Amino acid sequence: MEIGSDYNLNIKFDSNNLFYATGRIAIKKILKKINKNNEKCLIPNYLCDSIYNCFDNFDYYKINNNFDIDTEYLTSIITNNNYKLIFIINYFGYIDKNIEFISKLCKKNNILVIEDFTHNIYSEKFYGDISICSYRKSLPTPFGAIVIDTNNILNINKKKSINFIYIFLIILKLIGMFLKNYFNIKWIWRPILLFCEENIDKINYSDFDYLNNLFYKYYYDQDDKYIRIKNFKYLQNKLKIKTLDKFANTYFCFPILFNNKEERDKIKNILIKNKIYCPIYWPLNFDKDKECNHYITNHILCIPIDQRYNIENMKYIANIINEHLCI
């Protein structure tokens, strides 16, 4: 058995919900609709390349080492510039402590707020003018992202169309996910999943995604949230190294900030040897000007705690980490 890596194959909102193949396709669709003149946008200086690559004209706003938005800096650049929208990420499900102030600041300056709630998929409260979740990061769906457009700002028609290449990629990815159930050797199923991921952007499929809408409705289960929370609390109690207090009620993963990159990399490699695959959110390889928050990137490790695993799995992880920590 391995922990982490890809899913194996194993909330109903209102009618304004939109479904797309991926989060990045959804973001591009939103930008095309509300930012036709390619006006300047604001994006955080700690984000994944999938989001970064969606924007052509942007400035960074600052995320500090505690995952909070630097409101003083944000106020300064908003006061001195004109922006069309701001993209805000709920890091690991944490809602910024200054979100009400930020929302009022943006409203005062006619800036649309795009909220990314990928890390808190089961959220029942949204503060964005438009909210987006790449739910395939939390549910065993082949693809899929949801856009919540409560006030119908986008006014997008749910166009009906059939893209046979996209259907082929869905079927192929389902086969890869199915094979993962039975084969522990990565070269059997991993190339299939990689092929599907690499080709999803090439087919230019940006219509309403009826197929993954069905997967979403089938797999969305609030009970999974409580499994994740239970796993999170076990690690918080048993690990010698703790996560930040602000993540105490989150459930996406168990983020750890190590004292230095060397120890983080050592623990990561030890876990890999034990078939525990812990992602780093996110490697900032695109940040050539060093404007992004490299401290977080170089210190963070994210432990899988999702609904595929139980307390015995968490115990296994905790024992390995505690045994090799230099504290």
11 pLDDT tier (thresholds 50, 70, 90)? very low
Give the integer Cα–Cα distance in Å for 124 and 151.
16
Instruction: Report domain extents, the chain.
Output: 23-133, 164-219, 222-324
* CATH hierarchy code of domain 23-133: 3.40.640.10
The CB density around residue 37, as the number of other CB atoms within 10 Å, is 6
Give the integer Cα–Cα distance in Å for 166 and 158.
17
Give the integer Cα–Cα distance in Å for 32 and 18.
15
Does residue 5 sit in helix, strand or coil?
Answer: coil
pTM: 0.91
Give the integer Cα–Cα distance in Å for 271 and 320.
7
Specify the higher pLDDT residue, 16 or 163. 163
Angle at 16 between CA 12 and CA 19, to 5 degrees: 70
Angle at 51 between CA 187 and CA 143, to 5 degrees: 45
Q: What is the mean pLDDT of residues 7-18?
A: 59
Query: Are the beta carbons of 84 and 34 closer than 8 angstroms?
Result: yes
Per-residue pLDDT, 327? 62
Q: Write out pLDDT tens, residues 147-184.
A: 998 888 988 777 767 788 999 999 999 999 999 888 77
Query: Closest Cα partner for 111 from 51, 167, 58, 184?
Result: 58
Give the integer Cα–Cα distance in Å for 220 and 184.
27
Angle at 228 between CA 93 and CA 170, to 5 degrees: 85
Angle at 214 between CA 213 and CA 216, to 5 degrees: 65
Length of the chain: 327
Per-residue pLDDT, 182? 81
> The domain 222-324 is classified under which CATH number: 3.90.1150.10, 3.90.1580.10, 3.30.70.1450, 3.30.420.10?
3.90.1150.10
Query: Are the beta carbons of 48 and 280 closer than 8 angstroms?
Result: no
**Which tokens is 182 given?**
């039975």
**Which residues lie closer than 8 Å to 322 by C-beta, 6 or more apart?**
238, 239, 240
